[in-house]
Structure 1
C-alpha cells in the first residue's frame, strides 16, 4: 500500500509540474525518466543495501570527525561557555559553518572540488541528456551556496535563455551548501541529510525540465565555467573561507532571530482571534494531503505538515529546530521523509537571494528572475516533496 501511495504521490508531483509547464510540447520525457530512475536507484542503494549503508555510515563518520575538529576550534575561542548538547545553539551548531566553509575554500583553491564537479557534471550530462552547463550547475549546487553556484557560471549568463536561467536558478534553490551540512547533521539524522543531496540535484533538474524545458543545440552546448577562486595561496584560501563562513553563520543567526520572533508575533495575532490556533497548525492542515501522499502516517500528517510549512515560510533551520524535539514521538519513516524535505533552500527568502545574485551578474537577467520568482519557489517545493516521497518509498 505504501509503495502504491508513493507512486501516486510522484505522479501527482510530476502532474502539477506538467500543468504549469510553459512549453509542454518540448518536454524531454526520456531525460526525465532517466533522472527519476537514478533517484530511485540511489535511494534504494543507500537505504536497502549493505554497501550503501556502509557508505552512508562512512561519510557520516567523516562528517562527525570534522565536527569534532570544528568544535576544538570553537572551544578554544569560546572556552568560557560549556559546549554541550542543548547548549548555546550559535556556538554548538552555527560556528561549525566557519570550519566547513574553510575546508571548502581550500578544496576549491586546490582545484579538487572544481575537478570533481566538472567530471561528475559531464557524466550527469552524458547519462541524462541535460545540457552541460545545467548539469555542471546542478552538481556545483551540492557543494556551494546559491550565490556561489551561480557565480561559477557567470561567464555563461549572456547565453542563458529564460528557461535555462530558470533551470540554473532552480538547481541553486533546490540544493543546500556543503558548508551548512555539518550544522544540519547536528540537528537531524545524518543519513537523511546526505541522501537528500543527490536526490535534490536530480529532482531540481527533473522539475525544471518540466516547468521550463530547454533545447540546446550540440554546437552551443559548451561549458565555459568562471573560476571564482582568486586566492594566491592556501593560507589566503583558509582566511577567506573562514570569513565567508563567519558571515554565513551570522546571517543564519540573524535570520533565526527575525523569523522565530516574527513567527511568535504572527501566532500571537492568530491566537488573539482564534484561541489555541497557530500558524504551524494552519500550515499542517493545508499540507496534510501532500504529507499523506509522501507516505507519512495519518496520525502524524498534521504535525509533519506544520513543520514543512514552517520551512517554506521561514527557513530550514527554524523548521529543523522545531522538528528536533518532535522526533522522539514520531516514526522513523516520518523522521526520514520530513528530514529530506527540510534539506533545501526552498523558501521565500531564497527568491531574494537568487534575484540579488543574478542582478550582480547581469542586471537584464535579474528582471527575468524576478518575474518567475514565485514559480521558482513553487518548483523548488515540488523538488523537496519529490525527494521526500522517493525517500519514503524505501523507509
Structure 2
C-alpha cells in the first residue's frame, strides 16, 4: 500500500509540474527519467546495502568528530559561563558550530579541492541528464554553498540566462542546503536522513524545474567559466574569511529564528482568540495532512506531520526542525525519515526574497523577473521537497 501511495505521489508531483510548465513540447523526459532513476538507486544504495550503511556511518562519524572540534572552540570562548545542567542553549550548542564548518569550506575552496570536485560532478551530471552545464554546475554548487553563494558563482553566465534558465538555477538554489549548516541539522535530526536528503533534493529540484521551465541552449551559450579559487591570498586569510562568513550565517539564522518564532507565537495568540484555542500549526496540519499521507506517513501521524511541513514553508527549516526534534523517537521511523528529508532544503517564503535580492544585485532586470515568479518558484521547490521525501519513504 505504501509503495502504491509513493508512486501516486511521484505521479502527482510530476503532473502538477507539467500543469505549471510554460513549454511542454520541449520537456526532456529522458533526462527526467534518468534523474528519477538516479534518486531511486541512490536511496536504495544508502539505505538498503551494507556498503551504503558503512558510507553513512563513516560520514556520520566524520561529522561527529568535526562537531567535537567545533565544540572545543565554542567552549573556549564561553569560558566561565555556567549553563544549568540538562539545559540546551541552541545558539551555543548548534548555531556557533556553523562558524567552524564555514571555515572548513573556505579552506577546501582555497585549496581548490571543492571547486574541482564540484566542476567534475557538475560535468558528469550534465552528461547523464542532458541539462546545460551551467545549470548542472549550479545544482552541484548549491549542495555545498547554499543559495546566495551558488548564484554568485555563476554571475559571469547571467547574460546567457533566459527566463527558463534563470528559473532552473533559482529553483536549484532554493531546493538546496548549505554544507556549512549541515552540522547544525544533524544535531537535531537523524544524520542518515539529512545526508541522503542532500543529493535527493538536488535531483528533485532539477526534475521539477526542468518540467516547469524546459531549456534548450546553443553550444556557445553553454560555457562554464567559473572562478576555481577563492579570493583569499593565503591559507590563513581563507580561514579568517570562512570564520567571518560563518559568524554572519550564525547571527542571521539566530535573528531569523527570533523573528519567526516570536511572530508565530503572535499569530497563534490571534488565531486562538478568534477560533477558540486553535493554533496556526493545527490549521496547517489539516491543510497539509493529505500530502503527508501521500508521501508515505501513516494516517495517524499525518496531521502532526502536516503541521511541521506547513511551519517550514511559512517560516524556515530550522523552526520546523525544532518542532520535529522532540518528536523523534515518539513517532514512527517512517514519519521521522520522510519529514527530515522534506525539511532539509531552503524551500520557504523567506527564500524568495533572498534569491531575488541576490539576483537583483547581479542583474537588476533579472532580479525583477525572479520577484515576479517568486511564488511559482516556491511551489516548484515545495514539489521538489515532496518528491525527495516520497522517494526516501519508499525505502524506509
Deviation at 1:375, TM superposition (A): 0.6
Alignment-derived partner of residue 346 in structure 2: 345
Which whole-Å deviations, capped at 9, do the CAs of 1:90-124 have from their partners, x for residues lacking one? 00000000000000001011110000000000001
Q: Cα–Cα, structure 1 residues 110 and 80, in superposed 2: closer, same or farther, change >3 Å?
A: same
> 2-side partners of 1:297 and 1:331: how far apart?
8
Distance in 2 between residues matched to 1:383 and 1:85, nearest whole Å: 38
Tell me the secondary structure at the aligned position of residue 328 of structure 2.
Answer: helix
Q: Separation in 2 of the partners of 1:343 and 1:362?
A: 29
Superposed, 1:273-352 pairs within 5 Å as: 273-352=274-353
TM-score between both structures, scaled by the size of structure 1: 0.98
Contact 1:152 1:227 in 2 (8 A): no
TM-superposition CA deviations, 1:294-347 (whole Å, max 9, x none): 000000000000001000000000000011111232000000000000000000
Q: TM-score, normalised by structure 2?
A: 0.98
Counterparts of 1:126 and 1:161 in 2: how far apart (Å)? 21
Which residue of structure 2 lines up, in the alignment, with residue 233 of structure 1?
234
Counterpart of 2:43 in structure 1 is 43
CA RMSD of aligned residues (A): 1.1
Q: Which residue of 1 aligns with 2:72?
A: 72
Cα pair 2:139 2:169 within 8 Å, conserved:
yes
How many angstroms does 1:82 deviate by?
A: 4.8
Give the gaps of 5 or more residues in structure 2: none
* Aligned-pair CA distance for 1:85: 6.2
Separation in 1 of the partners of 2:265 and 2:276? 14
**What pairs up with 1:133-282 in 2 under 5 angstroms?**
133-227=134-228, 229-282=230-283
* 1:218 CA displacement: 3.1
Matches within 5 A, 1:106-117: 106-117=107-118
CA distance in 1: counterparts of 2:192 and 2:217, whole angstroms: 36
Change (3 A) 1:85 1:123: farther
Partner of 1:132: 133
Distance 1:259 1:298, change over 3 A: same
Count of residues paired in the alignment: 395
Taking the aligned partners of 1:228 and 1:305, their CA distance within structure 2 comes to: 43
- The CA deviation string for residues 62-88 of structure 1, in whole angstroms up to 9 with x for no partner, is 000000000000000013235776421
Rounded Cα–Cα distance in structure 1 between residues aligned with 2:96 and 2:53: 29
The equivalent residue for 1:391 is 392
Output the CA distance in 1 between the equivalents of 2:356 and 2:94. Answer: 28
Q: CA deviation at 1:221?
A: 2.1
Residues 118 and 141 in structure 2, CA contact (< 8 A), matched pair in contact too: yes
Aligned mates of 1:245, 1:309 — CA distance in 2: 28
Q: CA deviation at 1:219?
A: 3.9
Helix, strand or coil for the counterpart of 1:81?
coil
1:6-39 Cα deviation digits (max 9, x unpaired): 0001000111110111111111100000000000
Deviation at 1:372, TM superposition (A): 0.8
Cα drift, residue 222 of structure 1: 1.5
Deviation by residue 1:188-216 (Cα, 9 ceiling, x = unmatched) = 01000000000011111100000111011
Q: How far did residue 359 of structure 1 move?
A: 0.9
Superposed CA deviations along residues 113-165 of structure 1, whole A, max 9, x for unmatched, are 00000000000101111111100000000000211000000000000010000
Query: Secondary structure at 1:144's aligned position in 2?
Result: helix
Q: Which residue of 1 aligns with 2:30?
A: 30
**Aligned counterparts of 2:256 and 2:86: Cα–Cα separation in 1:** 22
Q: In structure 1, what is the Cα distance between the partners aligned to 2:191 and 2:163?
A: 36
Q: Which residue of 2 aligns with 1:4?
A: 4
Cα distance in 2 between the residues matched to 1:21 and 1:271 = 39
Query: Offset of 1:226 from its aligned partner?
Result: 3.7
Indicate conservation of the 8 Å contact 2:112/2:229, yes or no.
no
